[in-house]
Amino acid sequence: MKRLTIKALFAQLVLLGSLGTLWAQQDANTNQDQPAADNTKVNQRDRNKSEPTADQQKETPADRQLTQQIRKALVKDKTLSTYGRNIKIVTQNGMVTLKGPVKSEEEKQAIEAKAAEIAGSDKVTSEIQVASK
């Protein structure tokens, strides 16, 4: 069996290191081609519209209370999916906007009905979207 010299061992380590670097670069390039796994683009789109977003909600006691009442009703309803219970609720001057994806048309209608029951049907705007399967 041949003994490896220090130079040969060093050369093999350099080669392995180079291959590892190439593999890491290839993996990084592959990940750059894939879209982000979050909803950053959707959030940016919403910010650019004149429609209210959660970060624009006023902190008036009446608006906060209305948002809290709707959120509690949604969280309490165990028939709703996680999407349904986490829908965005934006309240400004007593006007409620609902945003986000839900699993079905029935779920969308249930959320809209709960919000209308609490805030009043003429005070609720729905921008809820049924997620495609």
Block means of pLDDT (10 residues each) for the chain, 133 residues, are 70 74 63 54 57 69 94 95 92 92 95 96 94 76
Token pair in block for residue 37: 């796994």
3 state DSSP class of 125: strand
Look at residue 13 in the predicted model and tell me its pLDDT: 76
> How far is residue 100 from each of residues 85, 125, 130, measured CA to CA in Å?
10, 12, 9
* Separation CA 129–CA 45 (nearest Å): 15
Look at residue 113 in the predicted model and tell me its pLDDT: 96
Look at residue 12 in the predicted model and tell me its pLDDT: 77
Q: Is the pTM of this model over 0.85?
A: no
Asked whether 79 and 110 are in contact (CB, 8 A), the reply is yes
Look at residue 49 in the predicted model and tell me its pLDDT: 58
Q: Among 45, 69, 56, which Cα is nearest to 124's?
A: 69
